[in-house]
Amino acid sequence: MGIYLDYLATTPVDLRVLEAMLPYFHAEFGNPASRSHAFGWRARAAVEEAREQTANLIGAHPEEIVFTSGATEAINLALRGLVARRPEGRSRLLVARGEHRAVLDTAEDLRSRGLQVDLAEIDADGQVIVEGFEGRLGESTLLSCVQWANNEVGTVQPVGALAEACRAHGSRFFCDATQAVGKLPVDLGETGIDLACLSAHKIYGPKGVGALYIRKGEPRLRLAPQITGGGHERGLRAGTSNVPGIVGLGRACEIAAQEMEAEGTRLLGLRERLEGGLKARLEGVQRNGEPGQSLPGCLNLTFEGVAAEDLMMELGDIAVSSGSACTSARPEPSHVLGAMGLSASRAQSSIRFGLGRFTTREEIDQTIERVSRAVGKLRSPLGTAPRAPEKGS
């Protein structure tokens, strides 16, 4: 099966999650919107239990959770839904340059429909420059969008400070928490974030299900539904509920809450072993992103003089990536690395390693060996060969 090191793109469904889902494909097949019989009642109870499990992981109330088909739909509901109900005089969006394409492309479409879109700069480590961010906020700012953790380099953002700055200007703050949830402590209530999204398939749940967090309280957040046709999810997202998927999301959140701390420590150790091993064997290896404020399982490295596409082809059955899975069809270099100030050539020589729940130390050691050999082979016309491993590495 090879070695899978692309856990930031997607994760396998944990067997404990699958076990929780299985009854809802056959035995418990009721529609939770059917309120006149026990089949519907049991399905509705399962959905509400999952809503509570999801809320518990992110420091929210169950009634603040709206189930969607994933983070992309949640992003569209948040941005488009808020724009459709925006108060008079609020016509600007502030978006960080390193955001996921689901945010950037949605913002660009809203720009074509008459909204102003400002871009907040990020520094060489991928962090939003707080002073510059605050300087772009104003009375006309409707919404600001910043990820909790970047999906390509893993950099964690100061979302609490950014949300506070937005509150001071009377604007809303949306956080794409997809990569952070289940990997880092996330408390949306404590940080004062207004809107946030997550996706099950990033935390060992099924694909095709996610959630949007909508903070309750005053002033009330009003969103226009983007999918109509019924009163599902408090009228915000029509369509028959994906009960097995929602149950899977809830169980995945429950497991993450129980195991996140220990798993984070384990992954950090494996990440440091991978980075240290490659740098001991190879010259011209540079890390992209801030190691002290980063997802424990994310490592983005530049291999000087080697094209990332060639390296991935050489690695064969080791699954890594050169950026976000959602932008893999785009021929241009990573927009995230470009916003961090990397040259196009360096960005095109960068690989993202995503470590996860089922990554082993043996796989890391095999990867160090295989990547070192592959880079040495690709560099060989330049006369740059891998160094011999140091004793004890």
Last residue of a domain, one of 255, 275, 307: 255
Residue 392, in any domain of the structure: no
195 in the same domain as 64? yes
318 in the same domain as 247? no
Residue 151 confidence (pLDDT): 96
Residue 165, in any domain of the structure: yes
Task: Tokens for 22, please give them.
Answer: 């299985």
* C-alpha span between 154 and 108 (Å, rounded): 24
301 in the same domain as 154? no
* C-alpha span between 71 and 221 (Å, rounded): 19
At 110, the amino acid letter reads L
Number of domains comprising the chain: 2
- Tokens 């690395």 correspond to what residue? 337
272 in the same domain as 246? no
**Bond into 219 cis (ω within 30):** yes
Residue 5 confidence (pLDDT): 98
85 in the same domain as 144? yes
Contact yes or no for 192/161 (Cβ under 8 A): no
For Cα atoms 28, 29, 32, give the angle at the middle one, nearest 5 degrees.
100
Last residue of a domain, one of 255, 270, 304: 255
CA distances from 217 to 167, 192, 390 (A): 13, 11, 58
Burial string for 301-314 (b: 16+ CB within 10 Å, else e) reads bbbbebebebbbeb
291 in the same domain as 220? no
81 in the same domain as 28? yes
> Inter-axis angle of helices 38-58 and 243-281, to 10 degrees?
30
Encode 15-83 in three state secondary structure: HHHHHHHHHHHCCCCCCCCCCCCHHHHHHHHHHHHHHHHHHHHHCCCHHHEEEECCHHHHHHHHHHHHH
* C-alpha span between 143 and 166 (Å, rounded): 8
- Tokens 């890391």 correspond to what residue? 364
Q: Which CATH number covers residue 156? A: 3.40.640.10
Residue 389, in any domain of the structure: no
Domain range enclosing 100: 15-255
* Strand ranges (E), 129-218: 141-145, 172-176, 195-199, 210-214
182 in the same domain as 330? no
Residue 314, in any domain of the structure: yes
Residue 390, in any domain of the structure: no
Q: Which CATH number covers residue 373? A: 3.90.1150.10
Task: Tokens for 140, please give them.
Answer: 């006309």
Count Cβ atoms below 10 Å from residue 84 Cβ, excluding itself. 12
Residue 324 confidence (pLDDT): 56
Residue 290 confidence (pLDDT): 84
Q: Is 197 annotated as catalytic?
A: no
157 in the same domain as 274? no
Burial of 243 (0-12, 13-18, 19+ CB in 10 A): buried
Residue 210, in any domain of the structure: yes
Residue 391, in any domain of the structure: no
Last residue of a domain, one of 237, 255, 273: 255
Contact yes or no for 259/269 (Cβ under 8 A): no
pLDDT along the chain (393 residues), means of 10: 96 98 97 96 98 98 98 98 94 97 97 95 95 94 98 97 95 98 97 97 98 93 94 94 98 98 98 98 96 95 96 96 62 89 96 98 98 96 53 49
Contact yes or no for 307/348 (Cβ under 8 A): yes
CA distances from 242 to 39, 40, 56, 293 (A): 15, 13, 20, 35
Residue 393 confidence (pLDDT): 46
174 in the same domain as 58? yes
Q: Which of 9, 97, 175 has the alpha carbon at shortest distance from 336?
A: 97
* C-alpha span between 318 and 363 (Å, rounded): 10
239 in the same domain as 339? no
235 in the same domain as 210? yes
Residue 294, in any domain of the structure: yes
At 83, the amino acid letter reads V
- Whole-structure pTM value: 0.93
Residue 332 confidence (pLDDT): 76
Query: Of residues 145, 166, 175, 326, which has the active-site annotation?
Result: 326
Residue 381 confidence (pLDDT): 66
